[in-house]
Amino acid sequence: MKLNELTAHRLHEMLINREVSARDITEAVFNRIDEVEDELKAYVRTTKDLAYQQAEEVDQKIQRGENIPPLAGIPIALKDNICTKGVHTTCSSKMLENFIPPYDATVVEKIKENSAVIVGKTNMDEFAMGSSTETSAFYPTKNPWDITRVPGGSSGGSAAAVAADETIVALGSDTGGSIRQPAAFCGVVGLKPTYGVVSRYGVVAYASSFDQVGTITKDVTDCALLLNVIAGHDSNDTTSVKREKVDYTKALIDNVKGLKIGVPKEYFAEGLDPEVEKAVLESVEVLKSMGAQCEEVSLPHLKYALPTYCIIAMAEASANMARYDGIRYGYRTPEASDLIELYKKTRSEGFGNEVKRRIMLGTYALSTGHYDAYYLKAQKVRTLIKQDFEEIFKKVDVLLAPVTPDVAFRLGEKVDDPLTMYLTDSLTVPANIAGLPAISIPCGFKEGMPIGLQILAKHFAEATLLQVAYTFERNTDFHRRKPNYKGQEGGKN
C-alpha cells in the first residue's frame, strides 16, 4: 500500500523504525493531492511549503534520536473554519476569501506542538452552514466513493480528503452533525467530542452552544490519538471544561462484555432507509454477540430535536455573523454611498444564500414578539431533550443509532430544497443539543456507498464510546474498504 493510504499509528511505527521519513509521507500525500484534487476538490488551499518544513523538522528530530509524539510527521488537513496564523482561513465564504488570521486556533497550536504536518485547509459548507459542502462559495467537493454524490457536510472536504487518502487525518467541526454525517457518507471515522472537551478558540463560530471541533480519521485508533492531542481545557475558551488529562488510547479495548447498549426507537422512525436500518441493527447484533446487553429505549422529546436545533443554532448564527460588516476585515463592497448601503451591499454580496437564510430565520426567532414562541420555547425543549438523555444514560452505557437517514445523495439533489437538506441532520443534531459525545464509524454499504453507525455516550464518556467503536471495528471489515477512487489499493492497513 502507498504511504498516504496508511493510518497514523501505522506510519508512526514506520517513522520510529526509520522505515520511512516524514518527508516521504508528506510527498505521498501531495502526490495524491496532485492526482485527484482537480476532480475531488476537497481542499480550499494546500500548504505545501509549510508541510515540507514541518516534515523536515520531524525528520531532524528522528535523526537526532529524539522521541517523537504519536502524530509527529503525520499529515493533517484542517477544516477551513479553523484559524491558522498567516494562512488564509476562508470558511469557504466570499466574505473571508482574503482573510489571513493573525493567530492560531488553540487546536492548531496543539497540532503544531505535536509536530503534525499541516497539509492544507479543507472545503466546507459556507460558515459550516450546510450538509453537503455544496454551499461553499468556491466549489462543491465530491464524494470519492461516487463523484456524482456529495461527501456530506459541512466538514465534507475533511471527510473526502481522508477517504481519498489526500491526508492521513483531519479536523472538522460538528454543530449539528457536520463531522459525523460526512464521515458516514465517506466511510471514515468521525468523532464529535462532548461540548467543552475541545477548545473552540480560533474556530470560526457558527452556533456557539453547539460547535465542537472533532476528528476525522481512517480508524478508531487514529481517532483516539488525535483526540489525545486536541482535547483539554483552554483558558481562552471559558466553555471548555477543566478535567484531568485522559489518555484515550487506553480505551482501545476489544471487549464489550456486560456493556449496556440502548437502541432508541425514535432514531428508527419514518424516513429511515430500510437498508441503513438493517445495517445498523446488524451492527447491534455484532456487539450483542460480543457480549453486550441490548435493549430498546425511548427518548420521547427527540421528535422536536431538529426544530429545536434550527431555532437556537440560527439565532446564535444571526449574532455570530454580525461581525462580518465590511469594516475591519473580510469582504467590503467596492462602492457604497453611506453606512447602511455599505452594510447592505457588503453582506448581500459577501454571504451566500444559505448563510443569509439562517441569519434571517435566526433574527426572526429572536425578534420582539417572536422570542417567546421560538427561541425561548426551543431552549425549554432543549432542556427536555437533555433530560431524556440523562434518564437514558442512567440505564445504558451507550446508544446505537444510524447517523443519517440514507447514504450520500447526489450533487444538486437537495441543494435547492433547504427543508429536505435540514432533514438529513435529524439524527445527528440530538447529540449537539445535549452536548453529548458521538462517533460515526463505517458499518455497511448500500449500492456501494458507505453507511455510518452512530454511537452516543453520556458527557465525557468518550472512552466508553471509543471502546465500543474499537471493538466493533476489530470484529468487522467495513473500515478496511476504500472507495477504489483513482488507484487506491484498499485492503488491509
Q: Which residues are catalytic?
A: 79, 154, 178
Q: Where are the alpha helices (DSSP H) in 130-243?
A: 156-163, 180-186, 220-230
Instruction: Quickly tell me which residue has 473526502 as its cell.
Output: 160
Q: Which of residues 37, 57, 112, 209 is near other proteins by CB under 8 A? A: 209
Q: Closer to other proteins by CB, 83 or 231: give it.
A: 83
Exactly one of 102, 258, 274, 334 binds other proteins (CB under 8 A); that residue is 102
* Site pattern 236..255 for other proteins (x: CB under 8 A): xxxx----------------
CB nearer other proteins, residue 191 or residue 359: 359
Q: Which is nearer to other proteins, 25 or 317 (CB)?
A: 317
Q: Which of 58, 77, 204, 226 binds other proteins (CB under 8 A)?
A: 204
Chain-centre distance for alpha carbon 33: 20
User: Using CA atoms, how far apart are residues 120 and 117, in angstroms rounded to an integer?
Assistant: 9
- In this structure, the strands spanning 260-264 and 43-46 are unpaired
Least distance (Å) between residue 314 CB and other proteins: 12
All three cell numbers of 52: 515540507
The C-alpha atoms of residue 38 and residue 29 are separated, in whole angstroms, by 15
Q: Closest distance between other proteins and the C-beta of residue 139, in Å?
A: 21
Asked whether the beta carbons of 155 and 172 are under 8 A apart, the reply is yes
Provide the grid cell at 306: 431538529
Rg (CA), the chain: 21
Q: Tell me the window of 94-102, 111-119, 129-137, 419-427 that interacts with other proteins (CB under 8 A).
A: 94-102
Choosing from 371, 377, 476, 481, the residue that interacts with other proteins (CB under 8 A) is 371
Contacts of 364 (CB under 8 A, 6+ apart): 370, 374
Choice from 89, 114, 135, 158 touching other proteins (CB under 8 A): 89
Shortest approach of other proteins to residue 461 CB, angstroms?
Answer: 21
User: Max alpha carbon distance in the chain (Å)?
Assistant: 71
Report residue 241 as a C-alpha cell: 471544561
Among residues 31 and 208, whose Cβ is nearest to other proteins? 208
- Residue from 11, 44, 58, 105 touching other proteins (CB under 8 A): that is 105
> Is-contact 431 456, C-beta < 8 A?
yes
Q: Evaluate whether 177 touches 429 at the Cβ level (below 8 Å).
A: yes
Query: Judged by CB, which is closer to other proteins: 125, or 316?
Result: 316
Binding site for other proteins (CB under 8 A): 81-83, 89, 91, 96, 99, 101-103, 105, 200-205, 207-209, 235-239, 315-316, 318-319, 321-325, 327-329, 339-340, 343, 363, 366-368, 371, 375
